[in-house]
Chain A
Amino acid sequence: MEKKDIIQSFKDSLFTGLIALALFGPIVGLKTVSKGEGLFITPQWGVVFLLVGLCILGRFLININSARRTEFKIFSTLSSKFSSITEDKAKHFAITGILFAVAFPFLPFTDRYFMDVAIMILTYIMLGWGLNIVVGLAGLLDLGYVAFYAVGAYSYALIATTFGWSFWICLPLAGLFAAFFGILLGFPVLRLRGDYLAIVTLGFGEIIRIILINWYEVTNGPDGITGIPRPSFFGLPFKRSPDEGETSFHLFFNLEYSTMHRIIFLYYLILVLALITNYFTLKIRKLPVGRAWEALREDEIACKSLGVNPTNTKLTAFAIGAMFGGFAGSFFATRQAFISPESFTFIESAIIVAIVVLGGMGSQTGVVLASIFLIGITEMFRDLEQYRMIAFGGAMVLIMVFKPKGILANRKPTILMHEDKK
């Protein structure tokens, strides 16, 4: 390496240090502390200099590294690890993944916290799979997907609390309601594409949330709906002391009462719902309507010239995607037993879209990996409190650097002419 290169990279890293100083100076350097009367600023320049120093050093190393045109081992191994994940291996991953998921509640290290995180990840996987139909297959960027999640949750909550019907009747109804809202959103946005579509769907998500807050007579406004019935195990409730004339789950199976029973049941419930979503998507992708979705994503004008009806095709994508969002919403409502508009903010939509995009548009296994990665990492860093969103952002940046098209980007044809070739 020449001397000129070193000086150049040194200059560059000093410049990086300046930017870091400008950023960290006010953010980290000036800490507000409340003492008695009011707020006081305590400077902590030591931490700032440490961070800035780290940035300069890091930048310098990267510069030298790229000047030498060789890679640090850690980068290359990470990079090859990431790129070695392909759809072929994804199949093995899927089978082991499902087996692991089925066995998960009975693994020795599994406790209540792990189960809760697992249920959350599975909910996001299901939402990701549902949104994958709209974004990944049909190519319609929907930034308001949480609206259907909300419609599903509220329909479930309202039907269940008003009529007292069981989970298995309310679930399909909630799905239908959500699908109906999918079509409702679909109609005005039929002619929109790309950015414009994204903006309108974003607005739709907010409209639903604001209606939920303000339609006090029906939705109980910001107070939300409480006392949503818990699901029962085919008629057997998970209660310590069942009502008269009823048998509860632990009595029926002669088990010691434990709250874990209900958690495990919820876990399997969302697992089954998610797997149904996945199975359905994999199936429908190979049907004419699925191929039409993908064709529409590729080129709408060409679709029209071949006699494909773009209106119906888009509406089915919106409706089916929304239906699965609605199912997930019902599950959410029955798990929480309480819902309020607070749970359905834009950030939820953003996370679901991030999962689909980072997973690799249209890839089912990618959604699983991205959900585990994003939700898991934010959970792992829960102890870091306010810094855990940095971990979330860092995870996104990592994926974008090493896999700019998403974790699993390669698409497999839906039908093969030469079976043996591939």
Chain B
Amino acid sequence: MSNLLSVKNLTMKFGGLTAIDDLSFDAKNNQITSIIGPNGAGKTTVFNCLTGFYKPTNGQMFLHKEDSKISLRKYTDFKIAYVAKVARTFQNIRLFPAMSVLENLLVAQHNELMVASGYSLFGLLNLKTYRDKEQLAVDKAKYWLDIIGLTHRADDNAGDLPYGDQRKLEIVRAMCIEPRLLCLDEPAAGLNPKESAELNKLLKFIKTEKQTGILLIEHDMSVVMGISDHVVVLNYGKKIFEGTADQTKNSKEVIEAYLGVDE
């Protein structure tokens, strides 16, 4: 299977603190790659570097596209999602709470709709070309809402949804930008076992049906071990282990990092 993302010698320093230290790993197409590690290991910092929120001190990140590759360092801010098609979700849910569920999903398709509306001109004139495009966007939103079973709540405010549904909505909202790489920051945090199982199903669906690579930060081991194809373990910003879920479970280094070493 081909590489989707390769991170090479990534280093991120905040003043004297080295949050990520010379990290290299690869993520493959149509695979779920999990990044795990104790609190403060630098997992979210890796995400923030990948998605343009931080500019890494050193190192390269490449996203592979058929034969060519693009460097994520070149893109910052909103261009990561717009040009490089890397989508992410957040540890603390960041929906648009006062907007309806459907509107949340339409904002994710903003750039296509903006072009379709002729930068608002066709839209103001209410041309048919725009209305058709908008209908397509609504259909896409409906497709995803059907998958997570929230179609009946499409017109309710996103902030009024139960916590578990908000998590799922944030994931499908990220999917609406048709990403090549989806970065999920602790999607199972605060979910009950039933909701976690549903989340596993959703992620597997995205992986197999949508051909999207998934990068996952997670503490919930039932999620990590259940769906990961590949696991990267971080501790104090360094990679201490890399392998399949089963290998990780039995790795001495990983157990030591989590539980400490006998005196």
Residues of A within 8 A of B (CB): 280, 283-284, 286-289, 291-292, 294-295, 298-299, 301-310, 411, 413-418, 421-422
Contacts and interface: CB of A to CB of B under 8 A. Distances in A.
A284 B138 contact: no
A289 B120 CA distance: 7
9 contacts: A280-B124, A287-B120, A288-B117, A298-B96, A306-B173, A310-B78, A416-B102, A417-B145, A422-B155
B99 A284 contact: no
B174 interface: yes
B99 A306 contact: no
Contact of B102 (A286, A288, A415, A422): A415
A309 B82 contact: yes
- A302, A411, A415, most chain B CB atoms within 10 A: A302
A417 B155 contact: yes
B154 A306 contact: no
Contact of A291 (B79, B89, B107, B173): B107
Nearest to B133: A288
Interface stretch (B62-70, B108-116, B195-203): B108-116
- B79, B96, B123, most chain A CB atoms within 10 A: B96
Contacts of B134: 415
A308 B99 contact: no
Contacts of A416: 100, 102, 154-155
A415 B142 CA distance: 13
Given A283-B124, A310-B78, A305 B107 contact: no
A108 B114 CA distance: 50
Nearest to A320: B120
B124 A284 contact: yes
B90 A302 contact: yes
Interface residues of B, number: 48
B77 interface: yes
Contact of B96 (A286, A288, A302): A302
B177 A307 contact: yes
A292 B117 CA distance: 13
Contacts, number: 127
B96 A294 contact: yes
Given A302-B94, A305-B90, A417-B102, A292 B78 contact: no
A417 B100 CA distance: 10
B87 interface: yes
Contact of B107 (A301, A303, A310, A422): A303
Contacts of B100: 413, 415-416
A303 B95 CA distance: 9
A298 to B, nearest CB: 4
Given A417-B138, A417-B154, A417-B155, A305 B102 contact: no
Contacts of B110: 288, 291-292, 295, 306-308
Contacts of B142: 417
Nearest to B124: A283
A299 to B, nearest CB: 5
A292 B209 CA distance: 29
B88 interface: yes
A301 B94 CA distance: 8
B41 to A, nearest CB: 22
Nearest to A279: B124
Interface in B109-146: 110-111, 113-114, 116-117, 119-120, 123-124, 134, 138, 141-142, 145
A284 B111 contact: no
A284 B123 CA distance: 8
Given A301-B90, A305-B90, A418-B152, 18 more contacts: A283-B123, A287-B123, A288-B120, A291-B110, A294-B98, A295-B96, A301-B94, A305-B89, A305-B94, A306-B107, A306-B176, A307-B111, A309-B78, A413-B100, A415-B100, A415-B134, A416-B155, A422-B155
B98 A411 contact: yes
Contacts of A301: 53, 90, 94
B151 interface: yes
Contacts of B119: 289
B106 interface: yes
B218 interface: no
B21 interface: no
Contact of B108 (A287, A289, A306, A418): A306
Contacts of A291: 99, 103, 106-107, 110
A413 B111 contact: no
Contacts of B77: 304, 310
B38 interface: no
B81 A287 contact: no
A335 to B, nearest CB: 28
Listed from nearest, the 7 A-B pairs whose CB atoms lie closest are: A307-B81, A307-B82, A298-B96, A417-B154, A413-B100, A302-B94, A288-B113
A104 to B, nearest CB: 29
Contact of A284 (B52, B81, B87, B120): B120
B99 to A, nearest CB: 6
